[in-house]
Structure 1
Amino acid sequence: MTKIKTSNPPLLGTYLLKRIYGDELYEEISGDFIEVFRERQKKYGNFSASLRYILDALLSIRNIDLKSQNSTRTNNNTAMITNYIKMALRVLQKHPTNSLINILGLAVGMGICLMIYQYIYFESSFDNFHSDVENTYRITKNYSRNGEDEGTGVYSSYGLGISVKQDVPEVKEYVRIHPQYGGAVLTNPEHNQPYKEDDMLFVDPAFLRVFDFRLVSGSTESALGSNQNIVITEQMAIKHFGDNDPMGKTLRVDGGWAAGNFTVTGVLERLPGNSHLQFDFLMPINILLQEHSQYKDTDGWGWNNFVTYVTLDKSADLGIVASKFDTVIYTYDVDLAESSTTVNIAFQPVTDIHLKSDFSGDPSTNNGSIRDVRIFSIIAIIILIIAWVNYINLSTARAMYRAKEVGVRKSIGAFRGQLVSQFMVESCLVNFLAAGLAVGIAYLLMPILNDIIGKQLEMSLLKDVTFWAVFLAVTITGSLLSGLYPAFILSAFKPASMLGSVKKVAKGGINLRRGLIVFQFLTSILLISGTYLVYNQISYMKSQELGIDMEKILVLNGPEVNVNRETAAEKMKTFKNEVAAHHSILTVTGSGAIPGKGYNWRTGMWKFGQSEDDSQSGNIVFADHNFINTYDFEFLAGRSFTEMASEENGFVINEKSLSVFGLGTPEEAIQQKLVVGGWDTVRVIGVIKDFHWNSLKDEHSPYLFSHSTSTDFLSFKVDLSNIPETIAHIENTYNEVFPNNPFNYFFLDDEFNNQYQADLQFGNLFTSFSILAIFISCLGLFGLVAFSANSRIKEIGIRKALGAEVSNLMFLLSKEYLILLLIANVLAIPVIAFWSRSWLDDYAYKINLGIEFFVLPGLILVVISLITVSYKTYVAAKSNPVIALKVE
């Protein structure tokens, strides 16, 4: 057979068509003319096809008025859009299952994104309610020694604030904050009901001017003006004074850094949840500086345990101001100037504190994580894309069903632009219906989110005009992204090919659909693997041996006794003896700190005989002679404390201290000396095996135990056979020996595991969003399988008539998706490896990535996918072949 050489349509015909229809309409109808020309070329040859093409162009003169009509089409936009909406609603009603899957998938996806956005909105809004927040900073100090970076901290000396206010003109205001370590007992003398309170801060009078915490009662200027003033929150006012007005009333403070009677001079409105500063009581910092010997007998530069904030002039150059601060420090801090340590000041914006504070020992109690915010942002985007992908897949998959509709419309004069507009209106309608439903879904699911994160969030972003602008833009963008490709695919069908008995759909659309399915499978596998990784890491940390026996430890907050030291010691000895007499109490010990609750003192120290340049930081815990035995530490050398007073200069150290301070082997370290804080010399009497004092997110660090009668915490090793009886015995004895002291206890293992609360919240959120994302993917997969089964119903009937088994037919309908799932599994392996290692880098002690981390997520998704696919494929495979063969 001779192959006919093809050529382009004759220029005369093209010229006539352009003159008749105009450039815009020509672009829309030219494809149909060219398609007919190509068909004639194959059938009649080039010459005959060219003549007929010119003839068709001449006959088009009857449509010359369409050119002028096109110029006035914009006048009928409203009627056209109304018609498009009616037709779109009819399409939705005609295919209810497909419409439900599209709308529900998009609604759930958008609803989840709204929840995540509300969470991110809250996390990103911390401290932005302060009036001068853009010029307010927390001072940070970066330490280096001999050119080696030693980290960044947020603590500074109390002399820094005063000095920079005097010497640096750019400083408008300063505020120093010091926590009430260990809390105190507060009592309203009128009721004589004591409460142990922990959230207490000593602050400068400028605190209420720099930070806009609203006073319900009292004056910003005078509330903290006197040493005996105290400011409380509304919740504490109700707790201590009931319905009575607390202003001018007295609160007695026992224990802690300051004791005595204080007058309530201010009541604060409930603190905003998006503040990095959370407290119940404010006390003047001057009472701490003037009455506590640790501070009043020093020059203001020896104790670096204050957090300092400054408000700078809005025109200040931070680099220049930082260098001025450095000059101030080296001018007044003589010891620092003479040491080999270098300190550089930096300014952390207050709005960055919540999410960007990974400093050692940061005192903020409710810090978040910028890493978590970024991860959830990515998840939100992925979920939204999955929802849009479902729409694109289902729309392009159903293209054949609408092919004849397109062919009929084009044959009676519909332009491609009109068809695109029609399909885009359908996309917009689906997206906007889903958007409205998404708001309701977000409202319904918000309480679940609150339970997971332990906060009471509301859909406050709905009150933000900016949010609605963004939400509208995202919805419109989603309508365009999810509707544009199907619209162009459908509108591109040629009438001649669509009105016949055989219809062809572009292979590119099928390949795109397969690629999008792979994307959905890939993201689902990654989310499953992320969930599996998070929970395995948390389980690993919680199950590891800590080197400390915490299973039978009950801890009691120590009493606040306002008597002399000897009397207090005698009362404590009486309490311990009476408690220990009970058969359920194995041992009793007192300490200044417990595992998971920090330390008593962190300071520089070095081996005796070396210079201060060799100083390294160590954590000191004050504990009595029973502490080591109660917590069952393992000795490598030496011994524990005795009750002798001489043990006050004897330290028990952990294994890590040996290498940090150069003390050699455990045996060699015994009786060696350390210089602590630059002025005290102690000797090593025992070395214990390394233990995990804090969570396994942290590496081992030097811990040193100093013999002390401190009783901030009382630890009891108990027999667990009758817990209620044991607790009742301890409480009765406590109330007899220490009347008017609140009885607060907890089990140490539960309290220790609270350190993993943030990780658990992250894991729960990650899991919840992953499940919903997989649900959306499965919803789309179900729709595609349903379409595939319906489009092959005649093939299934023929195969069944020829004897095909149901299992064979199910495999036939499912194998394409299984192949795509296999491809997604292969693509997921390097992504899982990279992401897992990156996430685990934040943990000092972490799991190993075994083969199960790469295989198990894929197997889980295979099971989920098979469950999703099986129902529809089974129904199709079991259908009556007689009915199937009648389908046209």
Structure 2
Amino acid sequence: MIKNYLKIAWRSLARNKMYSLINITGLTVGIACCILIILYVKDELSYDRYNQHYNETYRVVQAFRSAKNVKDLPPPAPEEYQVWGCAPLAPALKADFPEVDKIAQFTSPNTFLLQYRDKHFQENGIVFADSSMFDIFSWKMIYGDKTTALKGVNSIVLTKSVAEKYFGKSNPVGQMIKVDDGNSLMVTGEMEDIPSNSHFTFNGMISMSTFRQMRSEIFNWWGYVDFYTYFTVSAHTDINAMQAKTAAFVQRHNPAGADHSYAIAFEPLKNAYLHSTAKRQPGVTGSLSNVYIFSLVAIFILFIACINFINLSTARSMERAKEIGVRKAVGAHQEGLMFQYLTESVLIAFLATLLGVALAICLLPVVREMAGKPLPLTALLSWKMLLAFLLAPVLVGIPAGIYPAWVLARFKPALVLKGKFHSSGKGIQLRQGLVVFQFSLSIALIACTAIVFSQLNHLRSHDLGFRQDQMLVIDYGGDGNINKNIEAVKAILARNPAVTSITASRAVPGDFLPDATTVIEAPNGDKSSFDPGIYEIDADFLPAYEVKMAAGRAYSKSFSTDSEQAIIINEAAAKMYGYANPADVIGKSFDQWGRKGTVIGVTKDFNYQSLHNKVEPLTIRMAQFYSFNKLSLRVRSEHLSGTIAELQDTWATIAPNRPFLYSFMDKSFNEQYQKDVRFGQIFMTFGFLTIFIACLGLFGLATYSTEKRLKEIGVRKILGASVTNIVTLLSGDFVKLVLIAIIIATPLAWWGMNKWLNDFAYRIAIQWWIFGVAGLMAVAIALLTVGVLALKAATGNPVKSLRAE
């Protein structure tokens, strides 16, 4: 019987080519989209799972707050914690918590010029790290012994991609590599590159003992933060019980003093990428809401494709009514008939699955580019995915076909064979309801896509409070030789007529900034201590970036005391220290990092960080020459490529061993929103694919509806109906359904996008016209889809449709 069912199913598909094509195409696109979204979501959920001790690994997050009476402070909120911490924390935890098995620390990334023979490159992402890093994280060593590689002073482990730039495919262990034209490090290991699904990455690790030799004093400072602390616990450890002992731990070590509140918490490694709200992350973080959104989109796409199948199958049930009547008359049972038509449904789903997998493979490179993820093809070959492919025809075919099969199997043979069987009103209402559901989703996706891109445009066009256009930034990694002659270097570069201004600084907007414990005299005369961010700049920085002053003055070379006895803060910092009027803080005393003096100016708040965050308190001070890392040159827009070439030639004479690495501020600053841009691109792509599938179903349903009304159209034309009257008649029913869909989709899209926009400190207000435009687009799409068929029917010869009457 199964063989017979398959044969009949195949004949039915071949006989109704257009409807079969619509069903298979819709399911194919739906399944392909599902596969691609599953790969994306699977990658997002896979972060750090490559680690053998994934479930037993935690990291320390710390909250550091100021108050006159720390007992009056409530417990820190999750967003008040930061992952960045201090060096003495690790040995103290190891000593005080027997539950801690292995513990390791690494610093924030550094930039070094590495040189081996005639090869030299400026390498970013070099960290100082404990040798126990290999005990916590499951990284594969290609060459060298991971148990000893980071124990010795002046030793370095390179990742494969970096090592091959200097040593090719050969074993680099034992080779000496020069650092910043000074000390040499011995390569003690080459490891595989950090997996892309890791919440932090680096290009090399220098032994922590090297850092300890360079700056031994900071390893006893509880107030110096530049370390990330990770540890593993023994099996069956109660982490909550450990957490309960942290208050006593902090009090015992008393790192901050009586006027500070210091708290630590333990965050599971599994929360680091998608669930952490802590600041100062060591790498990128993901968005759990995006995972949910794309998962829902995958479900909706497949659901819409199944709706097409249900709609077309139930609509065409009248054509198969006589077949059912004959089968029942000769003894077929309802269960057997249902099984027969479910077999047909599963066959369609099987063909769609094969084509869907092939389409997904073809589109995978495009999705990789949009998502910025490797998404390996081998992920499709895992046993879970292969099992899903095998089960997909059943899991998709049976739910999609169960209702049409049930409808067909319940036909009364006597009525059918006498020609008295007609479509039920309930069936028509169901099809209309499903069309409304389809277009509700489609309209919501159109509106959401418009809101996403409006927000991205807002991020790009928002007034940041500083001028970023035509600003060329040279990253020279804090080269000591350049810093010793920084004013001469600036003067040489400024000779280029295309350079209109030039400044040196430790960081530029968009960069990672340190915090600095800063004491400023409060309005009542007390000393207030907080930890705002810190910019270290030269006297030309604020004018070059056109940062405006709210009160006081900017730095000036005319005041010799500015370099040691002055500080500038932003408006947010002034408010934090209790000054609603920025002018009132001018002249107040400060104490920061061994420097004392007075506040000479307050800048207007400028967005030195991503617009995901509000402008945070910031201090700006004159840097010592050894603190500079970057040069910022404002250049004329004319002949830009020629200007860059000239600057590169000049740089080769200034620093022949230092590569000319440059970027433009506007481009590099906007890279902070790359994740949002990718989200928008992916969302738009799958949104329009959803609309495409919905239109396929609408086209099929409209085609069938038009065919059933050909005789009615013929009569109307003979009685004088115009083409416009007939097109309006045939299109009107579907347009009404789309209008209902607009009413349903609008509040849903508004609610969802309002939630998404809450992740931005600077967000657009959702405008009503976005939903109006989305609705008009949906109506236009529906009219185009249905109108073509209606126009064809309206302009046809009525004699042909009435010939049988």
After superposition, what is the alpha-carbon deviation per residue over 1:532-570, rounded to whole angstroms, capped at 9, x for unaligned? Answer: 00000010111111110111211101355445xxxx555
Compared CA separation, residues 559 and 401, structure 1 to 2 (3 A): closer
Superposed, 1:733-748 pairs within 5 Å as 733-748=650-665
Deviation at 1:304, TM superposition (A): 2.5
Deviation at 1:826, TM superposition (A): 0.9
Deviation at 1:342, TM superposition (A): 4.4
Q: Which amino acid aligns with 2:187?
A: V
Q: Is the 8 A contact 2:64 2:260 kept in 1?
A: no
**Within the alignment, does 1:339 sit opposite 2:265 as a pair?**
no
The residue aligned with 1:187 is 115
Q: Which amino acid aligns with 2:732?
A: K
**Within the alignment, does 1:226 sit opposite 2:152 as a pair?**
yes
The residue aligned with 1:706 is 621
Compared CA separation, residues 887 and 842, structure 1 to 2 (3 A): farther
Select between 272-281 and 532-541 the one with higher mean Cα deviation: 272-281
| TM-score between the two structures when normalised by the length of structure 1 | 0.86
Superposed, 1:133-212 pairs within 5 Å as 133-142=54-63, 146-148=72-74, 149=76, 151-181=80-110, 183-188=111-116, 190-191=117-118, 193-212=119-138
After superposition, what is the alpha-carbon deviation per residue over 1:176-224, rounded to whole angstroms, capped at 9, x for unaligned? Answer: 010233x111111x22x32111111111101112111101111111111
**Within the alignment, does 1:481 sit opposite 2:399 as a pair?**
yes
After superposition, what is the alpha-carbon deviation per residue over 1:343-388, rounded to whole angstroms, capped at 9, x for unaligned? Answer: 1422x22233222233222121x32211111110010011010011
Q: Which amino acid aligns with 1:363?
A: P
Counterpart-to-counterpart distance in 2, 1:334 and 1:571: 39
**Within the alignment, does 1:803 sit opposite 2:717 as a pair?**
no
The residue aligned with 2:355 is 437
Structure 1: gaps spanning 5 or more residues:
1-79
The residue aligned with 2:471 is 553
Compared CA separation, residues 610 and 244, structure 1 to 2 (3 A): farther
The residue aligned with 2:487 is 573
Q: Which amino acid aligns with 1:288?
A: F
Q: Is the 8 A contact 1:619 1:703 kept in 2?
A: yes
Q: Is the 8 A contact 1:254 1:560 kept in 2?
A: no
After superposition, what is the alpha-carbon deviation per residue over 1:681-706, rounded to whole angstroms, capped at 9, x for unaligned? Answer: 34211122221112222112112210
The residue aligned with 1:50 is none
The residue aligned with 2:550 is 636
Deviation at 1:649, TM superposition (A): 2.2
Q: Which amino acid aligns with 2:33?
A: I
Select between 664-673 and 88-97 the one with higher mean Cα deviation: 664-673
The residue aligned with 1:248 is 174
Identity of aligned residues (%): 34
After superposition, what is the alpha-carbon deviation per residue over 1:392-448, rounded to whole angstroms, capped at 9, x for unaligned? Answer: 000000011111111121122221111111111111111111111111111011111
Deviation at 1:624, TM superposition (A): 0.3
Select between 701-710 and 455-464 the one with higher mean Cα deviation: 455-464
Q: Is the 8 A contact 1:168 1:325 kept in 2?
A: no
Deviation at 1:583, TM superposition (A): 1.7
Q: Which amino acid aligns with 2:609?
A: N
Structure 2: gaps spanning 5 or more residues:
none
The residue aligned with 1:767 is 684
User: Once superposed, which parts of structure 1, at least 4 consecutive aligned residues long, lie more than 6 Å away?
Assistant: 609-613
Select between 818-827 and 835-844 the one with higher mean Cα deviation: 835-844
Superposed, 1:394-473 pairs within 5 Å as 394-473=312-391
Counterpart-to-counterpart distance in 1, 2:552 and 2:198: 48
Compared CA separation, residues 326 and 815, structure 1 to 2 (3 A): same
**Within the alignment, does 1:818 sit opposite 2:712 as a pair?**
no
Counterpart-to-counterpart distance in 1, 2:660 and 2:496: 18
Q: Is the 8 A contact 2:274 2:288 kept in 1?
A: yes
Counterpart-to-counterpart distance in 2, 1:707 and 1:618: 16
Q: Is the 8 A contact 2:445 2:749 kept in 1?
A: no
The residue aligned with 1:831 is 748
The residue aligned with 1:624 is 538
Compared CA separation, residues 607 and 158, structure 1 to 2 (3 A): same
Structure 2 counterpart of 1:653, from 569, 572, 577:
569
Q: Any idea what SS the aligned residue of 1:844 has?
A: coil
Structure 2 counterpart of 1:668, from 584, 588, 611:
584
Counterpart-to-counterpart distance in 2, 1:872 and 1:104: 19
Deviation at 1:753, TM superposition (A): 0.9
Counterpart-to-counterpart distance in 1, 2:90 and 2:410: 72
Counterpart-to-counterpart distance in 2, 1:611 and 1:125: 53
Counterpart-to-counterpart distance in 2, 1:862 and 1:161: 63
**Within the alignment, does 1:87 sit opposite 2:8 as a pair?**
yes
Deviation at 1:658, TM superposition (A): 2.1
Structure 2 counterpart of 1:286, from 189, 209, 213:
209
Q: Is the 8 A contact 2:200 2:282 kept in 1?
A: no
The residue aligned with 2:666 is 749
Q: Is the 8 A contact 1:288 1:295 kept in 2?
A: no
Q: Is the 8 A contact 1:592 1:623 kept in 2?
A: yes
Q: Any idea what SS the aligned residue of 2:485 has?
A: helix
Q: Say which one has the larger Rg.
A: 1
Q: Is the 8 A contact 1:160 1:329 kept in 2?
A: no
Superposed, 1:527-538 pairs within 5 Å as 527-538=445-456
Deviation at 1:339, TM superposition (A): 3.4
Counterpart-to-counterpart distance in 2, 1:821 and 1:609: 62
Structure 1 counterpart of 2:603, from 671, 688, 691:
688
Counterpart-to-counterpart distance in 2, 1:345 and 1:486: 56
Select between 157-166 and 170-179 the one with higher mean Cα deviation: 157-166
What is the alpha-carbon root mean square deviation over aligned residues?
A: 2.0
Q: Is the 8 A contact 1:555 1:714 kept in 2?
A: yes
**Within the alignment, does 1:128 sit opposite 2:49 as a pair?**
yes
Q: Is the 8 A contact 2:60 2:264 kept in 1?
A: no
Counterpart-to-counterpart distance in 2, 1:707 and 1:580: 21
Q: Which amino acid aligns with 2:618?
A: Y
Q: Is the 8 A contact 2:606 2:615 kept in 1?
A: yes
Select between 139-148 and 874-883 the one with higher mean Cα deviation: 139-148
The residue aligned with 1:57 is none
Select between 629-638 and 375-384 the one with higher mean Cα deviation: 629-638
